[in-house]
A and B are shown apart, each in its own frame.
Chain A
C-alpha cells in the first residue's frame, strides 16, 4: 500500500539521522527547576505554594482557574525559592515557581488506580485534568478540554499523531519505538474518554521501525487499533491536515476536529495519559530531542519540566564553539519553533525539542521583492495565497486580510521556507492576525 499523503507541502532536509537511532536517556534530577504557571493555551494557574514551602515531586503547585487551563506540579522535591516572573520559552515572562531541589524523588509505578477499568469518561477526563496534561506536540492545548466533545458532537475516531514532521526532532519516534505499550494504553484510554470506537496511530514512513514495534505490541493488547502509514512530508502532522490524510475528512473552516468527529492527540500525550491514570503520575517530565548542528552531542532526553535549557544543553556537551558563527536556539523544531533570547528559560510541557542552528544554516536576514513565482501558493497546505495575505498583514489591510482567510493560516512555515526571495511571509501573516484581532477588539469596544 502506498503511504497516504495530502496535497502540497514541502520536503525540507529532515536531519533526523542525528538522533533517531539514539535511545532515550534519562536526565539526572536537576538542582533547580523553574516551573511557569502557564505552560498551556489558556489561563495561567494560580500558585498554591509560597516561598519557603517544602514540596515533593508531583505535588500540585499551581491550580487551574478556568476551564481551558491545566494545573502544574512540582517536578522535583525541594524548597520553593520564590514565586516570581521568569523568562518563558514561548516568549516574554510568566509567573513561575522556582524550586531548589533536595535530591528527593518519588517512584511512579504500580496500580495507583485499581479502579481504572470502572471509571466513566467524566472521571477519566477529571483525572487527566488533575494530572495537568496538555498536548505535547508543541501547541500545549489542555488535553482534558480536547477530550470533552461539546453537547451534540459525537467523536467516532481518535488519531494518535506520531508524524513528528518537524526536521531534527525524534522524541516521538523514540517514544513509539521504546514504549509502544504505553502509547497504545494511552490511546485506549483516550478512546474510552471520548467514546470513540475507532483508534488509529498515524506516523510517517520514515519511522517504520516504530510502526513495527507498535504493531507487535498491538497484537497482544490492542488488536482493534489501526495504523496509518503516511508519506514523509511537512506538515504531515498538522492536525487538520492529518485528519484529512488519514480519514479523508475536512474540518470545516473555522471549526474544530470535533466537528469532523475526530480527536487528535500526540503520542507523547497518550503516554502521559497512561502514566497519569495508570500510575498516578502528573505531567512532570517529558521526552525531548536536543539536536542541530550547534549541539556537541545530540540526544533524546527525558527531562523534568522546569529544567533550564542551559542545563539540558550542558547534558549534550553544550553548544559547539566556533569563531564568528552565530547560533539560534529554538524551543521546538526549525519550522515552527520559537527562537530564544536566553538559555535561562525552562523546558515546559510543550517543549518537543531544543534545536540549535548554526549560522550557516540560519536563514539570511535580507529579503528581496516578491517575484510572483507562485511557490507559496503551490505549497500552502491550507490552500491560501501566502504572498498576498502576508502583504495584507504587513500593510495592515485588516479587512482584506480577513476576507482572504488570513486567519486560517496554521503558521506551518511552508511558504516562507520555499520563498526564493526569502520573504518572511509567516511573520507578516502573524502581524496580520494580531492587527485583525486589535481591529476587531476596537470595533467591539
Chain B
C-alpha cells in the first residue's frame, strides 16, 4: 500500500516527463549533434529555382505565343514522367516532388527554338532525365547538366530543326538568330532589343531582363554563388572585348556577347547548377573562366553560332577534378 502511494507521487512529479513511449529509453529521442538544422532543404531550393524561371518562361510565351507554352509544358511533363518511370523501374524511392525534374524540363524548353516539334521535345526530355541524370544515380550524382545534355542530344539528332528560328510574334517566318546574323552575315542586332527580348532565338534566350530578374531572386535567396554568374559573364565580356579591340570590324562588341544567345540563361541557370559546378572557390573560378573562354572561342571560331551549351558541358566534365585539385587550405596549415 505504502509502495503504491510512493509510485503515485513519483508519477505526478514533473520529472516523469514524456508520456509517449517511442521505443527509446524514457521516450527520449537520441541523435548525433548538431541537433538543430537550417530550415532550408532541397525541396525549397529546387522550387525557388522553378519560381525564378517563371519570368523567363513568361517572356518566351509573351514573345512566341502558344508554341512556347506548349514546349514548356511538354518538356516539364515528360521530364517529370521520365524521372518517375526510371525511379519506379529501378525500385527506388520516387522523388519527383523535389522539383529538380521540373527545373530540367523548364531549362531544356528554354534552350529550344519556338517552332521545335513537340515530339522532339519529349525525346530531349527523356534523354535529359534518363541519360543525363538517372543513369548516373539520380539527383546529385550526375556529372553533366541534364538540360544541356538533352539539348546536345537534340542538336545531334535534329540539327536542322534546332537551328530553325522564328521571329517573335509570328509562327512561321523563319529568321536567323542575332548570333547567326553576326557570324554568317555580319549584321549586328541592337543590344537594347536583345535586352528586352524582341529577337529570334531559343525561348529562354530572348529576354535578358527576365533572366536577370530570376537570377537576382536566386542570389537574394542565397541559392547561387555570386562567383558563378559574374565570373562567367565577366570572362565572356573580357575575352569578347579582347577580340573586339583587336578587330572591331570583324568581331562583335562584348555587350553583344553578353546579351545574345544563351549567355545570360547559361550564366544564371546553367553554370550555377549546384550538382554540376565545383564546390571550392578556386574551382568555381577556373570553371567559369574556362567556360567563358570556350564560349568566345566557339562563337568566333567554331562551326556553330552559339557556344554556351558546349562551354558548360565541357567544363562540367572536369568538375570532379577541379574539386580535388582546388582543396581549400585547411585552417592552420603551413602556407
- A314 x B38 contact (CB < 8 A): no
Contacts of A384 in B (CB 8 A): 328, 330
Pick the contact of B279: A310, A362, A374, A381 (CB < 8 A).
Answer: A374
Within 8 A of B (CB), among A240-264: 240-241, 244, 250-255
A274 within 8 A of B: no
Cβ of B225 to closest chain A Cβ, rounded Å: 7
Stretch at the interface among B11-19, B75-83, B178-186, B208-216: B11-19
Contacts of B139 in A (CB 8 A): 368-369, 371
A296 within 8 A of B: yes
Contacts of A327 in B (CB 8 A): 17-18, 27-29
Cβ of A405 to closest chain B Cβ, rounded Å: 5
- Asked if A339 meets B15 with Cβ closer than 8 Å, knowing A240-B331, A372-B275, A381-B331, the reply is no
- A341 x B26 contact (CB < 8 A): yes
Cβ of B106 to closest chain A Cβ, rounded Å: 18
Contacts of B276 in A (CB 8 A): 372
- A377 x B28 contact (CB < 8 A): no
User: Please, how many angstroms separate the alpha-carbon atoms of A420 and B36 in the complex?
Assistant: 13
Contacts of A209 in B (CB 8 A): none
- Chain A interface size, as a band, is 35 or more
Contacts of B280 in A (CB 8 A): 374, 377, 385
Contact with B along A380-415 (1 / 0, CB 8 A): 011111011000000000000000110010010100
Cβ of B283 to closest chain A Cβ, rounded Å: 9
Does more than half of chain B's interface fall in helix, strand or loop, or is it mixed? loop
A-B contact count (CB 8 A): 206
- A426 x B40 contact (CB < 8 A): no
A154 within 8 A of B: no
Contact with B along A309-348 (1 / 0, CB 8 A): 0110110011101011111111000111111111100000
B196 within 8 A of A: no
B37 within 8 A of A: yes
Closest A residue to B30 by CB, please name it.
A339
Closest A residue to B14 by CB, please name it.
A318
- A335 x B34 contact (CB < 8 A): yes
- Asked if A424 meets B28 with Cβ closer than 8 Å, knowing A313-B17, A377-B280, A383-B329, the reply is no
Pick the contact of B32: A241, A253, A430 (CB < 8 A).
Answer: A430
A16 within 8 A of B: no
A418 within 8 A of B: yes
- B42 x A334 contact (CB < 8 A): no
User: Please, how many angstroms separate the alpha-carbon atoms of A372 and B323 in the complex?
Assistant: 10
B246 within 8 A of A: no
- A374 x B28 contact (CB < 8 A): no
- B31 x A328 contact (CB < 8 A): yes
A114 within 8 A of B: no
- B19 x A323 contact (CB < 8 A): yes
- B274 x A314 contact (CB < 8 A): no
Contacts of B19 in A (CB 8 A): 321, 323
A45 within 8 A of B: no
Contacts of B332 in A (CB 8 A): 240, 250-255, 382, 408
Contacts of A420 in B (CB 8 A): 38, 40-42, 44-45
Task: Give me 7 A-to-B residue pairs in the complex whose CB atoms sit less than 8 angstroms apart, sorted by A's number.
Answer: A327-B28, A334-B35, A341-B24, A341-B30, A371-B45, A383-B333, A408-B330
The 3 closest A-B pairs by CB, nearest first: A318-B14, A413-B34, A319-B17
Which positions in A face B, CB cutoff 8 Å?
Answer: 10, 12-13, 167, 240-241, 244, 250-255, 296, 310-311, 313-314, 317-319, 321, 323-330, 334-343, 355, 357, 359, 361-365, 368-374, 377-378, 381-385, 387-388, 404-405, 408, 411, 413, 416-422, 424, 426-427, 430
